[in-house]
Structure 1
């Protein structure tokens, strides 16, 4: 886990993990993240207080297993968990959240507004009334000439005729426009 996260963190603006921060012995994500960034991990008072308040309110006992969820790598910021209280954390550009889908979504909702960085992704779509097999060579040629862009082909059938939506994505509007102009010309659209 640690090696994969470190490699991803070094090559991406943000990395999101889901799961492995719960109360059982096999929940090793927090330890792996700490090791990946060579920082200590331990019980954090603020995380412990969040858990203690939650368990007191719900009438549950704060046991050693539940206390494991207050172990946070040094230097990390807590991620709010409005569903089950046990916090996730952000260390550098890695956002570590619960694995239960509903809890992950709630935690992600608190993280997304804080994200910055990265160029906006621009896209343009060209609707072509020809099947994928008819346009594949044109798409491959344009993709080869514009390796910095993502060119996707999404087929459809309407009224018995085959067609495709060709989508060009990238962070440079001029390049996206140039690729789209060429595709429109090459495909007669």
Structure 2
């Protein structure tokens, strides 16, 4: 029972780290990144559909994304979704494909993005700590019910803290890498 609690906690911590990585990856740098627009909701025949299901996105140049719709009738809606996404991007539609040129980031914009990275990383750390708190509570319940000896409880709590430190460290590393990428001119 106690091992199951730790295994479940580790699984949830991994998910929290992955979510933090995904959120940080969506923050744009001066480079073109298909992940930035892949999940954008596009109005397609009355349904919100992720862009990646409607078009292929490639990076022909370091600061250019090329969006090639599978269905040409979705071109206008895709362009509208990119414009309305508040990413600071201006798509150019030539009738067949959409080119999205990434402008150079200003120093002020870079600092805003660094703050955003730090916020996303803190959200990830909080999620990991919440998982730890929940698992710790479950282990405490087992001790109170007499199903878990105190020495075993101490050992499991140390392992739980080790897992927490490991996953918080991963989030910190992702944030640090993204900050370096943002501040590189």
Q: TM-score, normalised by structure 2?
A: 0.22
Q: TM-score, normalised by structure 1?
A: 0.21
Instruction: Say which one has the larger Rg.
Output: 1
